[in-house]
Amino acid sequence: MRRWPLYGGGLALLQAGLLAGCDRTPEVPAPPPATNVVAPVVATPAPQGPERLILAFGDSLYAGYGLDRGQSLPDVLQNRLRKDGINATIVNAGVSGDTSAAGRQRFAFALDNMKRKPDLILLGLGGNDVLRQISPAETRANMTAMMDEAKRRGIPVMLTGMMAPPNLGPEYSSQFNGIWTDLAKTYQATLYPFILDGVIGNAALMQADHVHPNRTGVDRITARVAPLVESALGRSQ
């Protein structure tokens, strides 16, 4: 691969952990140099068949914060897809600390530096917007701009959503949490509503910061996300 219910208790930990963890990594104010957009990572032999190229574009939850090389969500997802017989190559464009605004700034740049138009974009931002309690209207505008850019280029998108901790208040949570559902409906995008669903709040699946999944947590997320990715790739053919 190339590198590029009950949520209440877990989401409270999410906010606390974000304040203690993700904030250590600054935003990226400008597009990174091309060498940072696509960097080689651990690869597994690809099965036979046409290559399905995927751009994983997000923050630390994609970048693999706190994990060893080859253990990030895009790494593990690529391996899972290949085991399922899909000749997938995932370019990991996850940048720790990115808000939706920082992602919006580098989105077109990342796409321009792909070797060809990808078959699918995995788009996962929003956690750092919650950290900074950025207005949901601003987050929505940034995410909408990226969806518009993907639509203009004719690239399907799968969204991995984020949720606000309930202690930010019902008004903020309602406005923030609805962003991904609305975008998925407007752009006919595949949606996994909450990337940390089934993982956040479980100490056995999370790193010590209570925000980022450990290797086992990434495996849990991959098992849930992979079937949706496979379905999205099937529709993009």
55: part of which helix (H) or strand (E)? strand 52-58
Longest dimension (CA), the chain: 50
- Roughly what angle, to the nearest 10 degrees, separates helices 100-112 and 136-153? 10
Distance between alpha carbon 72 and the CA centroid of its chain, in Å? 11
Residue 60 designated active-site: yes
- Is 185 strand, coil or helix? helix
Question: Could you tell me where the DSSP H helices lie in the chain?
Answer: 8-20, 34-37, 60-63, 73-83, 100-112, 127-131, 136-153, 170-187, 215-235
Annotation marks residue 209 as catalytic? yes
Catalytic one of 60, 72, 100, 173: 60
Q: State yes or no: is 210 an active-site residue.
A: no
Question: Which candidate, 218, 237, 235, 220, places its Cα nearest to that of 56?
Answer: 218
Residue 219 burial by Cβ neighbours in a 10 Å radius (0-12, 13-18, 19+)? middle
* Strand partners for 53: 89
Question: Given 59, 96, 209, 210, which residue is catalytic?
Answer: 209
d(CA 186, CA 138) in angstroms, rounded, equals 18
- Report d(CA 172, CA 195) in Å as an integer: 19
Positions marked active-site = 60, 209, 212
